[in-house]
Amino acid sequence: MADWQFNRKVLGVQVRRLFTLTGLLVVVIAIMTALMVKGSPRVASKPLKAPDLIGVVDDSFTEKVTQNVMTNQQMELVALRKELANLTKTLATLKSAHEEALASQNEVLRGEFNEQLKQVASIVKEEKASAPTPGIKNATLWHGAGTSDAYGSMALSTPRIHMVSFRKRAPRSSSRLNPALYVPSNTSVRAVILGGADADASVNGQSKNNGVMLFKFLEDGTLPNGLHSHLRGCRVSANAYGDISSERAFATLYKLSCAHRGQPIIDKEVSGWVFFNGKVGIKGQPLMRDNKVMTWAGISGALSGVAQAAQYAQSVQQFGAYGASSTVPSSHIAPFAAYGGAAKAADTLSQYYVKRAEQYHPVIQVGAGNVVTVVFKDGFYLTPEGESHASHEASVQQARFNDEPSNDGSINFTVPNEVLSQIDRVSTTHAQGGMQ
């Protein structure tokens, strides 16, 4: 009687466990079905088209990239045409003004030179008119009183005109800190993105800083106070990292390279920031790729729990003198082992998906074609890195040496040698006539 009641009690416990496992299995199947349905593609209503602030993020050269490149080239061509027209007009104005200045200067110089020639000719005529005639016959009067002073040597002076100065040259600056050779800090340049990046927006993304971007300058660059440099066409590379909260990719400049025709190639490190729409950082599209991995990790964990519960259901409780104990009947050994293996496999699979999900991190996608503004943090010289300091000093000293004559009344107009020789010849002839 007692055995029959005990078996009935054990049977009731097993039935309850079976219902519990069946309910858990139904719940797991429902969850898996819902996740699969959620992951399947849906035909959603067409959303309103938002303004394109992130450019093109495709890895292939699609039609959109072509349109962006063509638009940028057309804008650059229009700007070049305007600058060429302005430059042509300016050159024409400068040419006419320069020709007028040269003509007036030649007239002034010709007038001054003619005046000087007239003065020299008048002086020569006066000296010839005042010279004594050689008609004296008295030896005493001719030779004097016979003293030694009368036979003293006569010193003849032959004045010479060497050079004539009419104006001074403007001194040239020998400093290398000028817009032609130096780019100061806070210089801004409009640029276009040639190579985008998937900026790492993980917790340690800023320390990794492994995104690489490439920019091309669209203009010469605006210096403080409105001056301009000559950076058009140069390229600069940058490292980038993402910020998931602001959905922006922050780029830090790395290398600048310029190759102008007829000049040495420039390749040096620079530092600076990249601005987009008035804010630092480039607006991008955030992307999270760990959703499916986390879903399968949860499903694997749930299956592991169900398998463990089914494994425990195969055991039977027995009550003895020492209390209750769980034993596995010989007929339940195979299901017990199968459920145990399934639980272990599901747990291992869940741990694998969790570790795989840790390798995924959010990224900020930034495509090519966006127009940004590059601002330099530190100033730098537009000269090659290999140019020595001695050559700089030599060039500066040479420039100073060339400018020295202009500091003390430099002579920039020389009378022709033929005119000087003629003046000297007339002066010498006049002096010899006076001796006779």
Query: What mean pLDDT do residues 157-169 have?
Result: 53
Q: How confident is the model at residue 407 (pLDDT cuts 50, 70, 90)?
A: very low
Specify the pLDDT at position 409.
Answer: 46
pLDDT band at residue 419 under the 50/70/90 scheme: low
What is the per-residue pLDDT for 150?
45
pLDDT digits (tens, 9 = 90+) for 95-143: 888 888 888 888 888 888 888 888 888 887 877 776 555 554 454 544 4
For the chain, give the mean pLDDT. 76
CB 332 within 8 A of CB 252: no
**pLDDT, position 372:** 94
Residue at token pair 């009378």: 415
Cβ atoms of 342 and 303 closer than 8 Å: yes
Q: Each residue of 32-78: pLDDT tens digit?
A: 777 676 655 555 556 656 555 555 555 555 566 667 777 878 888 88
Q: Give 7 or 28, the one with higher predicted confidence.
A: 28
Q: How far is CA 339 from the centre of its chain?
A: 63
Domain boundaries, the chain: 2-38+290-359, 182-288+364-391
Name the least confident of 29-38, 254-263, 334-343: 29-38
Residue 190 contacts residue 218 (beta carbons within 8 Å): yes
| Residue 38, Cβ density class (10 Å: 0-12 exposed, 13-18 middle, ≥19 buried) | exposed
Higher pLDDT, 207 or 388: 207
Picking from 106-110, 227-231, 329-333, which range would have the lowest pLDDT averaged per residue?
329-333
For 298-327, what is each residue's pLDDT tens digit? 888 888 888 888 777 777 777 766 777 777
Q: Which of 50, 51, 78, 70 is nearest to 369 (CA)?
A: 70
Predicted local confidence at residue 31, as pLDDT: 77
Q: Which CATH superfamily is domain 182-288+364-391 in?
A: Type IV secretion system, VirB10/TraB/TrbI (2.40.128.260)
What is the percent of the chain with per-residue pLDDT over 90, rounded to a whole number? 18
Give just the sign of the alpha carbon dihedral 211, 196, 281, 289: negative
Contact of 270 with 258, CB cutoff 8 Å: no
Considering the entire predicted model, what is its pTM? Answer: 0.48
